[in-house]
Amino acid sequence: MNEILKTQFFVDDLSDDQKRIITNINDYIKQGLQGDTSSVAIIEGAAGTGKSVVLMELVRQYMTDKRYKTSLVVNHPELYKAYQDIAESIPNMKVNSIRRPTSLINYAQKNHKKYDVIFVDEAHLLYSKSEPYAHYRGQNQLTDLMDLAKVVVVVYDFDQVFQSKMYWDKDLLFKTIGSHPHKSFNMNFQYRMVASDEQVAWMDDLTAEKPLKPFPDNSDFDFKMFDTAGAMFDTIKKRNKEVGMSRMVATSGFPRIDGRHNVEMDSFNLPWDEWDPQRTHWAKREGSITQVGTIYTLQGFDLNYVGMIIGPSFGYDPQTDTMTIIPEKYSHKEIFKKRKDMKFTQDEYRTFIANVLNVLMKRGKYGLYLTAYDDALRKRLLEITKK
């Protein structure tokens, strides 16, 4: 197994919290396997709480046991490739039992297949509406998965919802589950970052448009604010040579210049990340050091250091001393797609955009380097950082 993936998804020494969650979910799965109707186990937690580690321990137990018919699904192309890589190195685990949700649903419905347990990572990426362009013609992928399995184990983080077609909140989740037995298993402990609780709260407060304050200096987490993206990129390249897995990331909204749609700011000019049909995921590819990562390549993955460019769709309000979100400057229009069964307010669209920034800032295990495209926002962040 690739060592990077092994480090992220498997922990030799599980914490007491993780062991307790795994034991409780195991008990619930065994109970559900004896039931007459599909039941749902909900693993809920914020970014970096170790949800994937817990899920993979359960996956390894059930998907290598010939007594059970199982599948693991994830609707994220990069994470899908990573799980295939992992499966190849686990004895008795079949790579073809790992699928994208649309693929599994279409296959199982066509061939009248049923499962004991279906595991769903990043379940907040399941389609909650028909998406014919992606060959999904059902109405809700969780509903379809529940029809296929005795037990569905889903991992949700509602703060990672950022598109209307994949919209989920707790009300919709429990409405979808309906009268089926279900139980939530909450994970509220931070494992990805070496950052303190106060430092994580600073990131949450920034994206929640709360008044700005200095970044807490109370852990070994390496935080630096940069005046230029060029200088920040130089530092990221140094970190990448030292420890690897250090990348530049950004939010949407950068203008096209001379026909190019790159991330351009001061001396910095790099293209966006590119999807690669090969099995090597973006974060692990050497060439990705010369590209800018997005939510589409990094959601669900760990980096060592992140160089975060807050894009043009974020500004600064001196009256409230807050970072502000400017939806009209957000150029990735997938976020704003309308759907017939529900309407979204401007505040909800702003939340989608805030969630993208929040998730990207929390990719780095050891450090976050930050700059902003907007001059006023960058100047204010530099001011409070130097205090």
Look at residue 297 in the predicted model and tell me its pLDDT.
Answer: 87
Retrieve residue 34's tokens: 């004896």
pLDDT tens across the length of the chain (387 residues) = 445 444 555 556 677 888 899 999 999 999 999 988 999 999 997 766 678 888 989 999 999 999 999 999 999 888 888 888 888 888 888 889 999 999 999 999 999 999 999 999 999 989 999 988 889 999 999 999 999 999 999 999 888 888 878 889 899 999 999 999 999 999 876 566 889 989 999 999 999 999 999 999 999 999 999 999 999 999 999 999 999 999 999 999 998 888 788 999 999 999 999 766 666 778 888 889 999 999 888 877 889 999 999 999 999 999 999 999 999 998 877 777 777 778 888 898 899 999 999 999 999 999 999 999 999 999 999 999 875
Q: What pLDDT sits at residue 354?
A: 95
Q: Within 13 Å and on the Cβ side, how many CA atoms surround 99? A: 14
Question: In terms of Cα–Cα distance, which of 125, 10, 110, 124 is closest to 77?
Answer: 125
* The pLDDT value given to residue 46: 72
Any idea where the domains of the chain sit in the sequence?
A: 3-187, 197-385
Query: pTM, whole model, 2 decimals?
Result: 0.82
Tracing tokens 């852990």 back to the chain, one arrives at: 219
Give the residue among 132, 103, 126, 108 at the shortest CA–CA distance from 42: 126
CB 359 within 8 A of CB 49: no
Instruction: Yes or no: say if 249 and 358 are a contact pair by the CB < 8 Å rule.
Output: no
pLDDT recorded at residue 47 = 67
pLDDT score, position 10 = 56
Q: What are phi and psi of 214, to 5 degrees?
A: -60, 145
Query: What pLDDT was estimated at residue 1?
Result: 44
- Looking at residue 278, its pLDDT comes to 64
CATH code at 3-187: 3.40.50.300
C-alpha 360/C-alpha 192 separation (Å) is: 13
CA gap 210, 212 in Å, rounded: 6
Rg (Cα) of the chain, in Å, rounded?
Answer: 21
Residue 45, number of CB atoms within 10 A of its CB:
21
